[in-house]
Amino acid sequence: MGQQDNRSYEFGRFRLKVAEHILLREGELVPLTPKVFDILLTLVENSGQVVSKDDLMKRVWPNTFVEEGNLTQNISLLRKALGESPGGVQFIETVPRRGYRFVAETGETSEAPDLNPLVSAEIPAQIPAVVAAPVRTRRTPAFVLAAGLVVVSIIGLMYFTSKAGNTAAIQSIAVLPFVDESADPDGEYLNDKIAESLINSLSKLPQLRVVPRSVVAAYKGKEIDPRKIGEELNVRAVVTGRMRRHGDIISIQADLIDLQNVAQLWGQHYDHKVSDVLLVQDDISRDIFENLRLKLNVEEKKQLEAYRLYLKGRNSWNKRTGDALQEAIEFFNQAIEIDPNYGAAYAGLADCYNMLVVYGRLQPKEGFPKAKEAALKALEIDESSAEAHSSLAFIKFRWDWDRAETEREFQTAIRLKPAYAPAHQWYSSYLVAVERFDEAIAEAKRTEELEPLQFVASSHLGWIYYLSGKNDEAIEQCRKILEIDPSSFPARRYLGLAYEGKGMYAEAISEFQTGLKLSGSPLMLALLGHAYAVAGKRAEAQQVLNDLQQLQSQRYVSPYTVAVIYAGLGDQEQAFKWLDKAVEERDIWLMNLKVDPVFAKLRSQRKFTDILARIRLRP
């Protein structure tokens, strides 16, 4: 190996080892994706100098075109890995309109590669024991990482103490039910969600015995004596917690207790939005890992980092906006870069591409093939993945028009994971499209039961009510959502449709106008055009058609939604022309054609039944 390969760079508490392609923090491995490592190495090699964005992208992604957003996202991940915080330690300076500069004092050495890159973490030291870690407050992701560094240093003291009673790694643990201090009706859901995720995360460590959720659930609602429970469950440590919800903010105090030494190893306070509940779980599980004193090998650390990126991807995917979906794709790709055989991340990618088609950010021919490839890859890795079967079922329904396969995939997903909400949600969409209304409503209600804090699930029930002809129920459901979150544009959409179904055109137009301001969606604009048309405002409807035509040069506009406006204007010739175009493009909304009330006046036409036959919605 050449001399250059043996270089090491030191800055702060970090050592960057070029030959091993690793970053160490006080001897402990810091998980980095290959691209993030390459960015760090480039910046360190040019320490004190501005490295342009173009140069960085050419160095890290040679011979490949990438958007600047990829670089920004990876720089953000690098900052977090280094523990940067606002007003605190800073390693990377952003130079506006130019690039980035590595500002930390850097030293370069040349050495023979270690046979074991983690060997420095094995050297004992004589340091007094620490009994309990202080409680800190977590407010922002950057602050979280700064606090995490403090936690790591404290745990280092504890791990290297000379007292035999404290040196052994914790190898058994139970996550006890958290106490809800706010009497929140959704508290039990949050409690179960967080406990399930923590147990799933901890169970990924082969060295750690984790008590199953079904066992610890028996302690829910009971007075908790950690030592007694520890003896009953035969575990060395327990995680306890208290939870309180303030509006859309969830506050959690979590503690890790070493029962053998009667000591609190760690305690921390977390504040997050309810919509970011997955990030709460990720934060808590990461901090627990750091405090268990387990000696993880490089592969185990990579798997944990991939899982954390997956959780972040799912959290972004849940938001459903175009920008959030693109962010989710980045997270899932980073997880796959760390672990190419991570099936769940491929399923996440499939869901992102599916939703980008739903929200008009990609044409069906662009999004669905990518989604299908990712879903099949996920199933190739793990045939029992309910998420992947659900993703594939969505594609079979909306793109392949294969009713038999759609039914089979949804049933498989629900059998494999009955509590997976998206499987029930998307299955209800299929059921209502084939006129199985009662089953569709039941599945939509099940979705809401499984995800009571997700407005996507609640508004979806309003959509199913509307397509089932239950406009009053749809109005009640959507109003309930908007009382809590007036910015929910899906609820505005379905409320407007239900108003229109009852002939309340002024109310419908108002809801669509508000929804359009919130989302900027061509779909919402088309619905507004239809409402204008059926309300007799033909000039306004024609203006919407003109607006959609201009919009086509900027983004995808669904032919189905254009047909909706012509149907409202009573122009059946143009309506069928655009429906034919929708068939050619395999428009995602065609699967609603048989039950969509806006086309009620076209159903008696032979052309309409011919289209249903072409898209396999009738024998």
Write down the pLDDT at residue 66.
57
Write down the pLDDT at residue 67.
60
* pLDDT over threshold 80, residue 301: no
At 294, the pLDDT band (50, 70, 90 cuts) reads low
Q: Can you tell me the distance from the alpha carbon of 547 to that of 568, in angstroms, rounded to the nearest whole number?
A: 17
Q: For residue 389, what are its two tokens? A: 């079967």
CB 416 within 8 A of CB 393: no
Q: For residue 521, what are its two tokens? A: 């969606």
Q: Average pLDDT over the chain, rounded to whole?
A: 82
The pLDDT tens digits of the residues spanning 326-339 come to 999 999 999 999 99
The pLDDT tens digits of the residues spanning 240-288 come to 888 877 766 778 888 888 888 777 777 877 777 766 666 666 677 767 7
Span of 60-74, 230-244, 306-320 with lowest mean pLDDT: 60-74
Q: Can you tell me the distance from the alpha carbon of 288 to that of 275, in angstroms, rounded to the nearest whole number?
A: 22
At 487, the pLDDT band (50, 70, 90 cuts) reads confident
How confident is the model over 307-318, as a mean pLDDT? 86
The better pLDDT of the pair 402, 153 is held by 402
The better pLDDT of the pair 246, 105 is held by 105
The structure tokens 């702060």 sit at 12
CB 580 within 8 A of CB 573: no
Residue 362's SS3 state is coil
* pLDDT over threshold 70, residue 293: no
pTM, rounded to two decimals: 0.64
Return left, alpha or beta for 234; rule: phi > 0 is left, psi -120 to 50 is alpha, else beta.
left
CB 352 within 8 A of CB 316: no
Give the HSE-up count for residue 189: Cα atoms under 13 Å, Cβ half-sphere: 15
| pLDDT > 70: percent of the chain | 81
How confident is the model over 483-491, as a mean pLDDT? 83
Q: Can you tell me the distance from the alpha carbon of 104 to that of 44, in angstroms, rounded to the nearest whole number?
A: 9
The pLDDT tens digits of the residues spanning 448-457 come to 888 876 677 8
Residue 309's SS3 state is helix
* pLDDT over threshold 50, residue 138: no
* pLDDT over threshold 50, residue 379: yes
* Sheet with 92-95: strands ordered across: 50-52, 99-102, 92-95
Q: Which pairs from 222-231 meet CB under 8 Å and 24+ separation? A: 224/176, 224/177, 224/179, 226/176, 226/257, 226/259, 227/259, 227/262, 229/174, 229/176, 230/174, 230/259, 231/259
